[in-house]
Copies of this chain bind each other. A is one copy, B any other.
């Protein structure tokens, strides 16, 4: 069944000790240069491949990391993964990917498996269930074992921890201010799932910007959605059917905004003339929908890169918990441009 050849096998062929083979393959100078070459050539020929598992066991270091995400199908999440991969590739690590599907149970299960496999570190964006119910003990346990844990996007409650995030608050503030600058009077918000940090921060930035401009958040201009386009359909209809129609919408992400634009078009409402729109994430298609969607870019790929770099530096030296907050950029396109 398994054809893999071990150092012991090679040792038998050469009638010598495994230690000699090991040294020869690692080019140890104590081994005769010709012996080395012969052994190396033979190893190549028979396709010897080092078994890292034994080393992991010996050195207590598996060169493997874990990444737990609530989902992976959104551009933001998969970009994080790609950024992370790019850095880790150079450093010799492998990445275990785990999709929690926002479930606390699954998240716990994955953490168990990752710990059992002795990953050297853990990147995690907490499941909504864990976050809502403040179920962080399973993660605290990990941290207590002095295993590096780096939070992505969604922080752990209370506990000081390493984090890489975009400043969602600032991004939302910028987006809202832009809509105000465009002369919008009644700015609605498609609010993400409650309990999730990202939703909360974006709402807060939205709210504080209104207050800073001497306005109030009006309850009937807030509609809750999930992160999917579908969920924004009814929400947008609700907004437009109320007595107090909005003349702008700030959405929790681009998908819900594109869905909103779809509904507005159906209703004969013009974007940006009647309703201006700004989204969040700046997905690649944002430039190509009609009208092109203004959006807050959160440098998704860089989040992954920075998280990976943070792990690498924490591995080398003991550092206090830190938060890396990336600046969002407002990309203005037609959907919010009023002349």
Instruction: Spell out A's residues near B (CB within 8 Å).
Output: 1-4, 47, 49-54, 56-57, 60, 62, 64, 67, 71-73, 75, 77-79, 81-82, 85, 89, 92, 94-99, 106, 109-110, 112-118, 141, 144-146, 228-229, 255, 258-259, 261-262, 265, 284-285, 287-290
Q: Which residues of B contact A47 (CB under 8 A)?
A: 141, 144-145
Q: How far is the CB of A320 from chain B (nearest CB, A)?
A: 17
Known contacts A81-B72, A95-B96: does B289 contact A258 (CB below 8 Å)? yes
CB distance from A56 to the nearest CB of B (A): 5
Residues on the B chain within 8 Å of A71, using CB:
82
30 residue pairs bridging A and B, Cβ less than 8 Å apart: A1-B146, A2-B145, A3-B144, A3-B145, A49-B112, A49-B115, A50-B116, A52-B118, A64-B117, A67-B97, A71-B82, A72-B72, A72-B82, A73-B79, A78-B78, A85-B98, A89-B110, A92-B113, A94-B113, A95-B96, A96-B96, A96-B97, A229-B284, A229-B288, A259-B288, A262-B287, A262-B288, A262-B289, A262-B290, A289-B289
Please, how many angstroms separate the alpha-carbon atoms of A56 and B52 in the complex? Answer: 11
* Chain B residue at minimal CB-CB distance from A232: B288
Residues of B within 8 A of A95 (CB): 96-98
Q: Which of B81, B85, B97, B117 contacts A52 (CB 8 A)?
A: B117
- Contacts A3-B146, A288-B258, A289-B289; is A85 near B113 (CB within 8 Å)? no
Q: Which of B54, B145, B261, B290 contacts A4 (CB 8 A)?
A: B145
Copies per complex of this chain: 2
Contact A94–B73 (Cβ < 8 Å)? no
Task: Give the shortest distance, in Å, between A96 (CB) and chain B (any CB).
Answer: 5
Query: Does A258 lie within 8 Å of B229, measured CB to CB?
Result: no
User: A54 near B57 (CB under 8 angstroms)?
Assistant: yes
- The smallest beta-carbon distance between A292 and chain B, in angstroms, is 8
Complex: chain B residue closest to A95, CB-CB: B97
Name the residue on B nearest A73 (C-beta): B78
| CB of A6, distance to nearest CB on chain B (Å) | 11
Nearest chain B CB to A329 CB, angstrom units: 19
Name the distance in Å between A267's Cβ and chain B's nearest Cβ. 13
A234 to B51, CA, bound (A): 50
A1 to chain B, nearest CB (A): 6
Q: Give the distance in Å from the alpha carbon of A99 to the alpha carbon of B80 in the complex.
A: 12
Which residues does chain B contribute within 8 Å of A51, judged by CB atoms? 57, 116, 118
Within the complex, the shortest CB–CB distance from A111 to chain B, in Å, comes to 10
Once bound together, how far apart are the Cα atoms of A2 and B60, in whole Å?
8
Question: Which residues of B have CB within 8 Å of A98?
Answer: 85, 94-95
Closest to A93 in B: B113
Task: Name A79's closest neighbour in chain B (CB-CB).
Answer: B73
